[in-house]
Amino acid sequence: MIQHQKRSIAYVLAVLSIVLSLFLWAGIVRSFMAPLAQVTGEDTPAPPEPVSSSGGSLPSGDTGMHAVAPMRSAPLMPPLHFAGSATPVSTDRGSTSSSVADQQKSDELAQWEIRELATLSIPSLSIRSTVFLPSRRYWDAHDWETMERQMQVGLLYGVVSYPHAVLPGANGTIVIAGHSSPPNDRARESRFGAIFASLPAIEPTVQIILRTGSETVTYAVVETRIVPAGDTTILVEQKEESLLKLITCYPIGSTKDRFVVIAKRVEE
């Protein structure tokens, strides 16, 4: 009888030991898997896919004339009434938001290999913007789709030169694209979604100024034209004179055509 009781007690203890071991191992596995999930990104939302432009590709599409179209899912720039209206922030919360936005801008431009080239100003139209210059990586690879997404990122923060641009003032051509109307929601939140909305009102001889850290170069408008969205001839390089070309979608609010401004350097 005593022997039977001892066996029963041993059996119960063995079962309890197994149950406790299972709970212990379950806790260990959970604590191990949590950081592992973070490392593998299982609990982290994927970064937004860079946006693509709303029309075309380089030698055959929108990129050539589309002041850079919108990317596949990301928004771009702001409506006209937002342009040039930066509201100063006075609260700590606002300062924090501004600093987060600045960091996001810096990170996004660096990720896409985009740097500042110059500052563009057209006094007669009250247009002023940073000109961003993308790396030649996708241009040289003829990867027009990715290059367009690259340029689209720059258009969120100003106007964008095509990657094959010469330096301001040098013989050759600088082709700068900008939005005439915001192509998506993100563009509507930007100050530059309609930076070139007034460009079709430009007149001959109007001055366009490019400023770099070391010099100021002035161009005078010699011609304007309207070309089909697929016409990429305005991107063709030349070395005889110093030219600046500005392009934007036209009519305003559509991507049907491109409005092109051609200006020559004013010799001092």
249, pLDDT greater than 60: yes
**Residues 40 and 136 placed together within one structural domain of the fold:** no
Domain for residue 212, yes or no?
yes
**Residues 185 and 236 placed together within one structural domain of the fold:** yes
**Residues 40 and 99 placed together within one structural domain of the fold:** no
Q: Averaged over 115-126, what is the pLDDT?
A: 97
**Which residue matches tokens 């660096």?**
110
Q: Averaged over 39-51, what is the pLDDT?
A: 32
Chain-wide mean pLDDT for the chain?
A: 76
78, pLDDT greater than 60: no
Q: How far is C-alpha 149 from the geometric centre of its chain's CA atoms?
A: 7
**Residues 16 and 90 placed together within one structural domain of the fold:** no
Q: How many independent structural domains does the chain possess?
A: 2
88, pLDDT greater than 60: no
Domain for residue 13, yes or no?
yes
Q: Averaged over 165-169, what is the pLDDT?
A: 94
Structure tokens of 84? 């040039």
- 220-239: string of b/e by CB count within 10 Å (b at 16+)? ebeebeebebbebebbeeee
Tell which wins on pLDDT, 62 or 21: 21
Whether the CB-CB separation of 75 and 53 falls below 8 Å is answered with no
Domain for residue 219, yes or no?
yes
Domain for residue 53, yes or no?
no
Rounded Cα distance, 154 and 131, in Å: 9
**Residues 73 and 199 placed together within one structural domain of the fold:** yes
**Residues 78 and 150 placed together within one structural domain of the fold:** yes
pLDDT the model gives residue 45: 30
| Lowest-confidence pick of 43-47, 107-111, 200-204, 264-268 | 43-47
Q: Averaged over 109-126, what is the pLDDT?
A: 96
**Residues 131 and 227 placed together within one structural domain of the fold:** yes
Task: Give whole-number Cα distances, 202 to 143, 163, 261, in Å.
Answer: 33, 25, 8
Domain for residue 235, yes or no?
yes
Confidence class of residue 164 from pLDDT cuts 50, 70 and 90?
very high
**Residues 67 and 125 placed together within one structural domain of the fold:** yes
**Residues 37 and 77 placed together within one structural domain of the fold:** no
Confidence class of residue 184 from pLDDT cuts 50, 70 and 90?
confident
Domain enclosing residue 35, as ranges: 1-46
**Residues 39 and 66 placed together within one structural domain of the fold:** no
User: In this predicted model, what pLDDT tens digit does every residue of 145-158 receive, in sequence order?
Assistant: 999 999 999 999 99
